[in-house]
């Protein structure tokens, strides 16, 4: 039985946070002693779900000194410390020497950090106490060279993992005419500029009126761009486009049963959890060819790829779906099979076990 603490900046909705939820629950099911230490709030979205599975969550409170004292007290009984956020590395800078006596693992989930001097400084110090560094994608691994002045060589690649799905969004009857019932496009992400969600609006607007009417857009998520997106959507809705905003929804089945195809328009990504989850729910994905996404999506086999910012290519993909809606089911089946064979959380659990057990 391993004794593991996952350290996160919060348990709010996000890819890293969702992975922590998935891996900690899988570890707990397999008999490991698992706790979560969060710099976030007790009402963060994933905290209640994690606690429902019997996993203890410690919320650090108060000022910087108070939180560090609480952290040290918790760590006295923990053997493996698994960090999932660059801001946590920064927060732990004052007690870096104390971490030398622990087995500290760090997973790099993204490719971009806030432009803060302390982030880079704390990561330089962290190289002395980190026993192992893991990246979720090759692009995330490569990014550490410019972000932290680290070398890529010691960093191990371990993919994100998603829960095995027994329920999947079944399109109605296989012979049903998808053009008649309409095609629901889904967006599941933080609503921030680099996700480039207006590009989807623009691609649909470039279609003929008859083609645009075949689609609706279901948007899940919150973020700084939400008000701007709602303003754009309001004008498009007035012209007949069908767009709905759902905010943050926690239950995956509620999200992925609401649409037929996930669409990603991001300018940059690592390996989004939403892509893996959608594929696991038997949904094909249309995505920009960025980060590690081409590692999981094969164009015209289990989804569609196009270059970032290339609205014309996205438009052509949408047109092809109107003319060949049967591809939605066909590609979705292939996507589900790929995820079950390569990204099931049980497989990723085994990969991290080897990291934890390494000298």
Domains of the chain: 3-161+344-357 (3.40.50.2000), 178-342 (3.40.50.2000)
Q: Give residue-wise pLDDT tens across range 170-206.
A: 444 343 444 457 999 999 999 999 999 999 999 999 9
Q: Give residue-wise pLDDT tens across range 259-301.
A: 999 999 999 887 889 999 999 999 999 999 998 899 999 999 9
DSSP 162: B
Three-class secondary structure of residue 43 per DSSP: coil
The alpha carbon of residue 151 and the mean position of all alpha carbons in its chain are separated, in whole angstroms, by 25
Inform me whether the pLDDT recorded for 359 exceeds 80. no
Token pair recorded at residue 14: 């996000």
Q: What is the pLDDT of residue 174?
A: 45
Q: What is the pLDDT of residue 291?
A: 83
Q: What is the pLDDT of residue 292?
A: 84
Inform me whether the pLDDT recorded for 87 exceeds 70. yes
> What average pLDDT does range 156-160 have in this prediction?
92
Token pair recorded at residue 106: 């760090």
Q: What is the pLDDT of residue 47?
A: 96
Q: What is the pLDDT of residue 172?
A: 42
- Output the average pLDDT for the chain: 92
Q: What is the pLDDT of residue 180?
A: 54
* Separation of alpha carbons 159 and 69, rounded Å: 33
Residue 99 buriedness (CB in 10 A; 0-12 / 13-18 / 19+): buried
Express as a percent the part of the chain with pLDDT over 70. 95
Long-range contacts from 34-37, C-beta under 8 angstroms, 24+ separation: 34/4, 34/5, 34/6, 35/4, 35/5, 35/6, 35/74, 35/78, 36/5, 36/6, 36/7, 36/8, 36/11, 37/5, 37/6, 37/7, 37/8, 37/71, 37/74
20 touches 11 (CB < 8 A): yes
Q: How confident is the model at residue 166 (pLDDT cuts 50, 70, 90)?
A: low
Q: What is the pLDDT of residue 177?
A: 46
Collect all residues with Cβ–Cβ distance below 8 Å to 233 and sequence separation of at least 6.
201, 241, 243, 245
Inform me whether the pLDDT recorded for 168 exceeds 50. no
Q: What is the pLDDT of residue 245?
A: 98
* Separation of alpha carbons 265 and 199, rounded Å: 7
């Amino acid at each position: 039985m391993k004794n593991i603490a996952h350290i996160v900046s919060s348990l709010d909705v996000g890819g890293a946070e969702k992975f922590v939820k998935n891996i900690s629950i899988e570890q707990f099911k397999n008999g490991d002693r698992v706790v979560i230490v969060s710099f976030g709030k007790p009402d963060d979205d994933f905290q209640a779900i994690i606690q429902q599975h019997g996993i203890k969550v410690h919320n650090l409170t108060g000022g910087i000194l108070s939180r560090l004292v609480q952290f040290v007290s918790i760590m006295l009984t923990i053997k493996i410390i698994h960090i999932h956020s660059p801001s946590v590395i920064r927060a732990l800078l004052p007690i870096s020497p104390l971490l030398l006596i622990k087995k500290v693992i760090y997973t790099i989930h993204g490719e971009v950090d806030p432009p803060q001097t302390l982030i880079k400084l704390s990561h330089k110090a962290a190289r002395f106490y980190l026993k192992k560094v893991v990246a979720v994608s090759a692009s995330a691994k490569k990014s550490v060279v410019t972000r932290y002045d680290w070398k890529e060589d010691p960093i191990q690649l371990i993919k994100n993992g998603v829960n095995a799905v027994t329920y999947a969004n079944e399109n109605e009857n296989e012979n049903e005419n998808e053009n008649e019932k309409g095609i629901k496009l889904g967006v599941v992400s933080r609503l921030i500029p680099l996700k480039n969600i207006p590009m989807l609006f623009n691609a649909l607007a470039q279609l003929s009126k008859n083609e645009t009417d075949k689609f609706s857009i279901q948007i899940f998520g919150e973020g700084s761009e939400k008000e701007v997106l709602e303003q754009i959507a309001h004008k498009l809705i007035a012209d007949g486009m069908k767009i709905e905003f759902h905010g943050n929804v926690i239950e995956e089945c509620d999200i992925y049963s609401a649409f037929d195809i996930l669409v990603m328009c991001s300018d940059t990504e690592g390996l989004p959890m939403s892509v893996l989850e959608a594929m696991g729910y038997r949904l094909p994905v249309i995505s920009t060819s960025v980060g590690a996404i081409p590692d999981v999506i094969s164009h015209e086999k289990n989804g569609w790829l196009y270059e970032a910012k290339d609205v014309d290519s996205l438009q052509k993909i949408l047109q092809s779906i109107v003319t060949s809606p049967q591809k939605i089911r066909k590609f979705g089946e292939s996507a589900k099979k790929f995820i079950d064979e390569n990204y099931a959380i049980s497989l990723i659990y085994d990969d991290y076990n080897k990291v934890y057990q390494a000298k």
